[in-house]
């Protein structure tokens, strides 16, 4: 019998042992918890907190399963969201429901009615973490403390159950979801799961439901630091099922097909293997292996080099992990409560949670309100003009994600052959990295044709030009294409800064021309700017949006203004840094000036990554279109002409400016870094105010989404607008905040 409710009762559909018999696998003399334990059940702790929306609420579906060989009863709790189309998350009402379900099953275990407890989720999702929407509404530290204490009071029931507990991990197990699994005695995971992790530090908070205390005991301190500190710092790299097995985070990886059946067999075998499961509450953190570097000191050095004091949550997580071994369970959980309470209402956490909502799956906060207004046209084949590196990346992405044939065109046989090799190399890399299997790789290579005849693109539903960034060249390409392709074929440009409207000018059908700006490297960068030119029709725009989303990208729709969003904002920042150097600030001082923001790289490292010729081209374009706010840089011109490299490897292994490039800018004077930071902040506030006034995007959320996904702007800043608001630059420059109070900052 199966039944579901927010606070379920539990029935049994399998034979039960007599109440006086201890089931096989029952804990041997479980110790009482040390310390006072939780002060109140979640229903009381959370009474004054706002609840999650009804469709978010966790449902607990309880069923009994007979273990083979008269092994007794396994109580299986399946966790899903009330709306099963949503990721399963834990909010206040969900914690109350789970607490009541676990209390009920504990009573049954104490009466000898169940031999073990399994907790699982629906296919593809175990539990994706806490409900971030609720976390962003907390008013003060007491609210944060209540949420932390309620999580501990609930999840610790699994670690203190009088019978063994097992997490059957079916998919995403993130944050509080992975912490739930850590409280269990055992964890098994479906093969192919790629999203295990504790990303809380990147959200401005800490794993506050037992993760910091439990993780070092399970995997050791070095692996715990890697999982909870260094992986979130490195762009939130998640852990796969196979990696989790290698580190000891899980006990087994089981086939995804028929996972419940395999998990039941594994659980039964484990229970048969021994009558007692050791209680982990008194377990010590394993010592760091001899000769291995101190993981805490190593991580602290990385944090200092990367963040320079920004994003304090990382340091809090590191401290909790380092001190976990010296604290008993109750002391460790209280320390997590205190850290979580302090951080949840901080500006950094509010900004990071705002960023997570913007970039999360299915987010609507940054969705453009005025949609394309038409259905997308079907795209069954794609043409690409050009076969350079960007074009080859587009061919591989669109060919694999859309599962369509791709025809590429170059101007001569030599360049076409080079393009073919690029495609083959990119596919080989994808196969080597496990992104494609070998058969899929071979099929993809076979479906990409590279030639010199533009007529090969005649049957395409979408043609993307990816030729050199010269307006007249792109206009000539579109004029020639228009004579070859069908009238309903969408023509897209991958330009990063040029006018899409100007490219369409003079065509017989300018309405089908749109901007489809992918970022480099195409496979990794999650953003696409879809640009509406002056005459772009609704169906062409809808098709471009649909193609980008089917390719796995997040879309920001913009109007056709120079640089769109990302390049316009980034180049304003770089232009102001270069102008400061031209005014006499030493290059080393200017390059280090933005460190307080904790950006992923310094200005000169960004210039090197983008490529100096590309940066100069975009700067000249924006100068010509937008004027002296984007001053030309003679120093940059000299560096491009000399073919110079502008960075070197710094002491922490990160790129920093090479002091030798000072000679391209002339003698240094006495400028200071604070003045550079102020200059950049003032310029960014001005530029964002102007692009919003021009209607490039309808609101600041789209600016933040674009900067987070297209420029790697730090999540702990919430993008760019929360930082400008928090530091007062929005009001000083624009006379107003960009975001409403409390959206991405602590309540007043």
User: Exactly one of 52, 100, 160, 179 is catalytic; which is it?
Assistant: 179
Note the pLDDT of residue 747.
Answer: 63
User: Exactly one of 52, 100, 160, 200 is catalytic; which is it?
Assistant: 200
- C-alpha neighbours within 13 Å on the C-beta side of residue 24: 17
How many whole angstroms separate alpha carbon 577 and alpha carbon 585? 9
Our answer to whether residue 44 is catalytic in this structure is: no
Q: Splitting the chain (748 residues) into consecutive groups of 10 residues, what average pLDDT does each group show?
A: 36 33 41 44 83 89 94 96 91 94 97 97 95 85 93 95 96 97 96 96 95 96 97 92 96 97 96 63 82 94 89 96 95 96 91 88 50 84 96 97 96 96 96 90 96 94 95 95 93 95 94 96 94 95 96 96 96 97 95 91 93 94 96 96 92 86 93 94 98 96 95 90 95 95 72
Note the pLDDT of residue 673.
Answer: 93
User: For residue 286, which of 239, 324, 333 has the smallest C-alpha distance?
Assistant: 324
All residues at 6 or more sequence positions from 156 whose CB lies less than 8 Å from its CB, including other chains: 33, 38, 183, 210, 329, 333
Note the pLDDT of residue 36.
Answer: 39
Note the pLDDT of residue 382.
Answer: 97
Our answer to whether residue 179 is catalytic in this structure is: yes
Note the pLDDT of residue 54.
Answer: 86
Note the pLDDT of residue 44.
Answer: 86
Find the helix packing angle between 700-710 and 347-359, rounded to 10°: 80
Note the pLDDT of residue 256.
Answer: 96
Tell me the per-residue pLDDT of 239-269, one tens digit each, with 9 for 90 and over. 999 999 999 999 999 999 999 999 999 999 9
All residues at 6 or more sequence positions from 177 whose CB lies less than 8 Å from its CB, including other chains: 88, 90, 126, 127, 128, 129
How many whole angstroms separate alpha carbon 561 and alpha carbon 615? 18
First to last CA, the chain: 51
Note the pLDDT of residue 279.
Answer: 53
pTM higher than 0.95: no
């Amino acid at each position: 019998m199966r039944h579901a409710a927010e606070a379920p009762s539990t029935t049994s559909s399998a034979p039960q042992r007599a109440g006086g018999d201890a089931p096989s696998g029952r804990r041997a003399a479980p110790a009482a918890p040390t310390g006072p334990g939780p002060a109140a059940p979640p229903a009381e702790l959370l009474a004054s907190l706002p609840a999650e929306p009804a469709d978010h609420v966790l449902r607990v579906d309880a069923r009994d399963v007979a273990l083979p060989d008269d092994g007794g009863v396994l109580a299986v709790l399946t966790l899903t969201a009330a709306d099963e189309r949503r990721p399963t998350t834990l909010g206040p009402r969900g914690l109350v429901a789970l607490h009541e379900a676990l209390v009920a099953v504990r009573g049954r275990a104490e009466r000898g009615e169940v031999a073990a407890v399994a907790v699982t989720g629906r296919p593809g999702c175990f539990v994706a973490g806490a409900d971030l929407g609720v976390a962003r509404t907390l008013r003060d530290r007491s609210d944060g403390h209540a949420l932390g204490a309620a999580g501990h009071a609930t999840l610790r029931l699994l670690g203190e159950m009088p019978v063994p507990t097992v997490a059957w991990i079916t998919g995403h197990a993130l944050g509080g979801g992975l912490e739930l699994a850590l409280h269990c005695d055992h964890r098994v995971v479906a093969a192919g799961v790629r999203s295990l992790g504790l990303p809380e530090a990147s959200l401005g908070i800490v794993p506050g439901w037992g993760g910091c205390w439990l993780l070092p005991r399970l995997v050791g301190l070095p692996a715990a630091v890697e999982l909870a500190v260094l992986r979130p710092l490195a762009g939130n790299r998640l852990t796969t099922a196979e990696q989790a097995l290698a580190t000891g985070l899980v006990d087994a990886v089981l086939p995804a097909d028929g996972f419940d059946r395999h998990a039941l067999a594994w659980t039964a075998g484990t229970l048969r293997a021994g009558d007692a499961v050791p209680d982990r509450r008194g377990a010590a953190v394993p010592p760091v292996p001899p000769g291995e570097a101190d993981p805490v000191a190593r991580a602290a050095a990385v944090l200092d080099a990367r963040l320079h004091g920004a994003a304090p949550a990382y340091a809090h997580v590191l401290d909790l992990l380092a001190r976990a071994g010296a604290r008993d369970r109750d002391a460790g959980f209280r320390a997590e409560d205190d850290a979580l309470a302090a951080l949840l209402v901080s500006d950094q956490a509010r900004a990071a949670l705002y960023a997570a909502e913007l970039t999360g799956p299915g987010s609507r906060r940054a969705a453009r309100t005025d949609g394309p207004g038409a259905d997308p046209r079907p795209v069954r084949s794609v043409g690409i003009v050009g076969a350079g590196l960007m074009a080859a990346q587009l061919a591989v992405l669109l060919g694999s994600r859309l599962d369509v044939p791709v025809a590429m065109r170059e101007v001569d046989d030599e360049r076409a052959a080079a393009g073919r090799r690029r495609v083959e190399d990119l596919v080989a890399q994808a196969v080597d990295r496990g992104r494609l299997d070998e058969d899929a790789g071979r099929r993809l290579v076979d479906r990409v044709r590279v030639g010199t005849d533009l007529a090969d693109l005649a049957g395409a539903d979408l043609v993307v030009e990816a030729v050199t960034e010269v307006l007249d060249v792109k206009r000539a390409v579109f004029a020639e294409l228009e004579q070859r392709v069908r009238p309903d074929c969408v023509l897209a440009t991958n330009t990063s800064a040029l006018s899409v409207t100007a490219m369409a000018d003079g065509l017989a059908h300018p309405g089908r021309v749109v901007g489809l700006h992918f970022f480099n490297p195409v496979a990794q960068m999650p953003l696409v700017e879809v640009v509406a030119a002056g005459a772009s029709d609704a169906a062409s725009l809808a098709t471009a949006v649909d193609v980008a989303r089917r390719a796995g990208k997040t879309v920001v729709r913009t109007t056709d203004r120079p640089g769109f969003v990302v390049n316009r904002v980034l180049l304003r920042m770089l232009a102001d840094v270069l102008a400061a150097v031209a005014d006499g600030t030493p290059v080393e001082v200017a390059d280090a000036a933005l460190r307080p923001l904790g950006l992923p790289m310094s200005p000169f490292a960004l210039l090197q990554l983008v490529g100096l010729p590309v940066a100069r081209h975009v700067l000249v374009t924006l100068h010509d279109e937008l004027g002296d706010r984007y001053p030309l840089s003679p120093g940059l011109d000299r560096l491009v002409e000399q073919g110079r490299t502008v960075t070197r490897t710094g002491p922490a292994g990160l790129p920093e400016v090479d002091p030798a490039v000072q000679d391209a800018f002339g003698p240094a004077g006495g400028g200071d870094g604070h003045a550079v930071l102020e200059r950049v902040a003032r310029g960014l506030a001005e530029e964002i105010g102007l692009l919003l006034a021009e209607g490039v995007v309808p609101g600041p959320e789209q600016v933040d989404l674009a900067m987070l996904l297209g420029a790697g702007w730090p999540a702990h800043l919430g993008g760019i607008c929360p930082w400008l608001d928090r530091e007062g630059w929005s009001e000083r420059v624009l006379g107003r905040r960009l975001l409403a109070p409390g959206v991405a900052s602590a309540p007043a």
